Structure 1
Amino acid sequence: MAATSMAAALAASLPAPAAAPAPVAPSYEAIPASMAKVVDIEAEIPLTCVQLDAMVVTKILKHARESNSTTAHGLLLGLDLDGTLEVSNSFPLPHHVSDEDDKSAKSVARYQASMLRSLKEVQADDSVVGFYQAITLGAFFNQTLLDTQAIHQEKLRHGGIIIVHDLSQTARGNASFRAFRLTSAFLDAYKKNNFSAASLINHRLTFSSILEEVALKVRTNPLLSSFLGVLTEPTRSEATDAPPAAAATSALPPSYGVLDLGTSGVTRNLEQIIEGIDNYRTEEGNLAYLLRQIARERSKADNHVAKRQEENATRIAQGLAPLPEEDVNRLFKIPPEPSRLESMLLLGQVDAYAKTLSSTASTGLVKMYAAKASFGN
């Protein structure tokens, strides 16, 4: 009793606990009308343009030039803003040449996660907006590219994009960069995993309607432009006895293109076209063989059904019970209709090679006429 009264007395002597302040309800301000289109939280503004930073362009060029293979690829990082996908950074992904696909895929995934985590630690852009792929002679249709982009368009904001860099154009002095994404018709057929002839007709799919091109522009850093401008300005030589031709020099002298007739790339281009046509003919032969097998099995199934119907009609006429209907699919293994995707991709490659050959040949023809005219004078 004494202990209880002492505790009560001590409690009474302590100051009363301050009442907890009532939580203030959060207040939200409406987004101003001027920023309503910029702050696109729900990704409702359609993507109309891709903007590549100059640093990203140089990184892709460097990776494609130094890579041992012609399949150099990597991830693009950035942000979509007001319908423009701004690509501000990129990093290459390792290329594995091995038969262990699962092990290579896990290794690439670990490397990708490590790079994104490191970029986040230094407060750099770590939002994946797509990937880039180096190609040769304009041909970029392949199954791996379509599978990767299909995953990106399902998981990334605005679906992500593919930046295609043509090495053969860069070798001729033209930095070729194009942006693509998959069309909705192809995505619908891809999700259903149905590329039969009927599906291609219903979706109106050809090799030219697999990808849609997005407008692309390159953003140059003003500081880089100023630096290059300084390098190209002529400066006086410090040598007092320098000849007049070398008295004014620059750290970055102007470059002049050599009159290259471009005949070396034509041979390689023709070889790729012939190889692509051979692959297409082989694929068409395989499809024709499978279709003949399907027609043969279906003919057997139809004959079996017709024979059973005829037997049942005879038994009914004789007053006997008809034989039970059997499952034709269990008796005859009718193969499913083969996919036409591979042949469609091969046609796309042949078309890309042909367009590159047309461009190269026309340019070379003009150069040859110019060379002939100059030699004639």
Structure 2
Amino acid sequence: MAAAPSMAAALAASLPAPQSAPTPAAPSYEAIPASMSRVIDIEAEIPLTGVQLDGLVVSKIIKQSRESSSSTHGLLLGLDIDGTLEVSNSFPLPHHSSDDDDKSAKGIARYQGAMLRSLKEVQADDSVIGFYQSMTLGSFFNQTLVETQAIHQEKLRHGGIIIVHDISQTARGNASFRAFRLTKAFLDAYKRNNFSTTSLINHRLTFSSILEEVPLKIRTSALLSSFLGSLSEQSVSAVAQTNPAMTTSSVAIPPSYATLNLGTANVARNLELIIEAVDQHKTEEGNLAYLQRQIAREKARADGYVAKRKEENAARVAQGLAPLPEEDVSRLFKIPAEPSRLESMLQLGRIDAYAKSLAETSSTGLVKMYAVKANAGI
């Protein structure tokens, strides 16, 4: 006879069955959208297609160039978004002193670090994406620019860029800004530190293939547009105060005498710079020719020594004697290495830039002079 169930068993049977703990759902990772995957370019796989320069940066560079008596340079800050370098800020660097290069370089490095830390504290863009350099009459080829860009192109994403600003064009009312970077062929030769004639031929390098231009566009913000608008309003009010007759409903256009400028002010200076650059190139070519003659002279001496030793050994073998040991010619004759032609290429680039600037300014001035001659009845 089966025993009656206990009270505990009856209560346990009446309770609902215990439910098992729910298993946590596996985490799901959503794929990055195609648009964001292009923006988030961690490995810098998207090729650089252009540079976007903020209007604030343009005004800062122009202001610094006007206030400085010599050429100016500084760092560009911004972001690399979807293959476009967006330059949002900049700051100038102190001039490099040639008296104490080591001390001056350390001072510039400390100043640059302090500026970047200050920008980071105020949550501004502190990512260096290149540097800018002011120039005159279109010439910006020099050793410092090439060395600085080579360092940036090795350490920065997409190699960074150079923004060059022509002061002479700005003085004529044209804000001239161009973006460049070193070509792969030139960078390969620079890493090898070989700018001999053979290397230039193999890499097909000329002064025109040192840099490649990157498309550049300028973006003007609403704040900068308002600022320029306030400047124009102030200029009109100032003219109205000086001339009460202009306070009518239709404000007259202020007089401008820019059309009377024949544009020949920079022609003389441009010719002086061309002559100076040609003289420097001639001097450099003379130094290269002297070094080439010295190398040829040492090679001729080494070849003569080797030929003489071969004749002596042939005579000793004919006499049944042991030949003399062959000596290392490089220890006996110090043959200089072939000189670098980088400076000569840069000088040719400067001459070409000055010549193009002269052709542009002289053509405009020539047309104005013919017009003046016709009006004067000469």
TM-based fold match above 0.5: yes
**Structure 1 Cα separation of the partners of residues 101 and 27 of structure 2:** 51
**Structure 2 Cα separation of the partners of residues 197 and 273 of structure 1:** 25
Relative to structure 1, the CA distance from residue 249 to residue 73 in structure 2 (aligned partners, 3 Å threshold; closer, same or farther) is farther
SS of match in other structure, 1:77: strand
Match of 2:110 in 1: 110
Match of 1:285 in 2: 286
Q: Which string of whole-angstrom CA distances, capped at 9 and with x for unpartnered residues, describes residues 210-258 of structure 1?
A: 0000011100012332454466579999x9xx854233588x9796734
Is 2:56–2:224's contact at 8 Å kept on the other side of the alignment?
A: no
Report whether the alignment pairs 1:262 with 2:263: yes
Is 2:133–2:165's contact at 8 Å kept on the other side of the alignment?
A: yes
Taking the TM superposition and a 5 Å limit, the aligned residue runs for 1:157-306 are 157-229=157-229, 232=232, 243-248=244-249, 257-306=258-307
SS of match in other structure, 2:87: strand
Is 1:165–1:178's contact at 8 Å kept on the other side of the alignment?
A: yes
**Structure 2 Cα separation of the partners of residues 343 and 270 of structure 1:** 20
SS of match in other structure, 1:293: helix
Structure 1 unaligned runs (5+)? 1-22
Is 1:53–1:88's contact at 8 Å kept on the other side of the alignment?
A: yes
**Structure 1 Cα separation of the partners of residues 26 and 284 of structure 2:** 66
Match of 2:55 in 1: 54
TM-score between the two structures when normalised by the length of structure 1: 0.87
SS of match in other structure, 2:38: coil
Match of 1:78 in 2: 78
Match of 1:348 in 2: 349
* Identity, % of aligned positions: 76
TM-score between the two structures when normalised by the length of structure 2: 0.87
**Displacement, 1:97?**
3.2
Match of 1:143 in 2: 143
**Structure 2 Cα separation of the partners of residues 51 and 255 of structure 1:** 33
Relative to structure 1, the CA distance from residue 52 to residue 303 in structure 2 (aligned partners, 3 Å threshold; closer, same or farther) is same
Is 2:130–2:161's contact at 8 Å kept on the other side of the alignment?
A: yes
Taking the TM superposition and a 5 Å limit, the aligned residue runs for 1:299-338 are 299-338=300-339
**Structure 1 Cα separation of the partners of residues 250 and 57 of structure 2:** 30
**Structure 1 Cα separation of the partners of residues 232 and 337 of structure 2:** 65
**Displacement, 1:39?**
1.9
SS of match in other structure, 1:177: strand
State the one-letter code of the partner of 2:128. Answer: V
Q: CA RMSD in A?
A: 2.6
- Give the count of matched residue pairs: 352
**Structure 2 Cα separation of the partners of residues 292 and 149 of structure 1:** 34
SS of match in other structure, 1:202: helix
**Displacement, 1:63?**
0.9
Taking the TM superposition and a 5 Å limit, the aligned residue runs for 1:62-73 are 62-69=63-70, 71-73=71-73
**Displacement, 1:171?**
1.2
**Structure 1 Cα separation of the partners of residues 368 and 312 of structure 2:** 79
Q: Which string of whole-angstrom CA distances, capped at 9 and with x for unpartnered residues, describes residues 23-76 of structure 1?
A: 99986432112322222121111111111000000000011111132x210000
Relative to structure 1, the CA distance from residue 282 to residue 249 in structure 2 (aligned partners, 3 Å threshold; closer, same or farther) is farther
**Structure 2 Cα separation of the partners of residues 113 and 359 of structure 1:** 41
**Structure 1 Cα separation of the partners of residues 96 and 189 of structure 2:** 30
State the one-letter code of the partner of 2:131. Answer: F
Match of 2:17 in 1: none
State the one-letter code of the partner of 1:206. Answer: T
Relative to structure 1, the CA distance from residue 59 to residue 228 in structure 2 (aligned partners, 3 Å threshold; closer, same or farther) is closer
**Structure 2 Cα separation of the partners of residues 230 and 334 of structure 1:** 69
**Structure 1 Cα separation of the partners of residues 285 and 118 of structure 2:** 48
Match of 2:33 in 1: 32
